[in-house]
Copies of this chain bind each other. A is one copy, B any other.
Amino acid sequence: MAPQYKLTYFNVTALGEPIRFLLSYGNIDFEDVRIEMEQWPSLKPSTPFGQLPLFEHNGKVIHQSMAIARYCAKLVKLTGSNDWEALEIDSAVDTINDLRQKIAQYHYEPNEELKASKKKPLVEETVPFYIERLEAKVKDNDGYFACKKLTWADLYFVAILGYLNFMLGKDLIENAPNLQKLKEKVLALPNIKAWVAKRPKGHF
């Protein structure tokens, strides 16, 4: 049978990987379509808001990576036991996403001079501010981001960490033992381990 879900994204981890992690975690088969940059200009005008990833199911197409990841997290039962737990998880995910955006604002800055001026406050203030608080959060939650149990916030973070490290040019969690342990724990989940072993080697 053909997979019921189709994910279209670039041939990288980045915003697509949390979705791939979540579907893999639940053993949900999906079509993993990867667009090379030279194909993008011809595809872009046909997308809803000029963005990838796109997610297709039952003939419907939708964009927005976080919303898609949350939907997949519901499929695989990683959104908590009640609405307040779902809120705690969403809050953790949005905080990790804030950190991603702050790193991206540096990494994708086209003006070299401006980019250089953004590096010091990012590396010396913003990143340590976030990592210190995320590390404390994981310590307080028995080794997880929220609700003292495995949730999609944990898979989201580990799936996107390689991309964050790539953009920043260093390992974000080099001094954060609880975040390191969380990473090891997620990567040791059998379905995640199998996915990481078989996934295509993208550009980052």
Contact = CB atoms under 8 A, between A and B. Distances in A.
Interface residues of A, number: 32
A64 B133 contact: no
A168 interface: no
A90 interface: yes
Contact of A60 (B62, B74, B84): B84
Contacts of A68: 87, 91
A129 interface: yes
A70 B90 contact: yes
18 contacts: A49-B95, A49-B98, A49-B130, A49-B133, A50-B129, A58-B84, A63-B91, A64-B91, A64-B95, A66-B94, A67-B91, A67-B94, A68-B87, A68-B91, A70-B86, A70-B90, A71-B83, A71-B87
| Shortest 3 CB-CB contacts between residues of A and residues of B | A67-B90, A64-B91, A71-B87
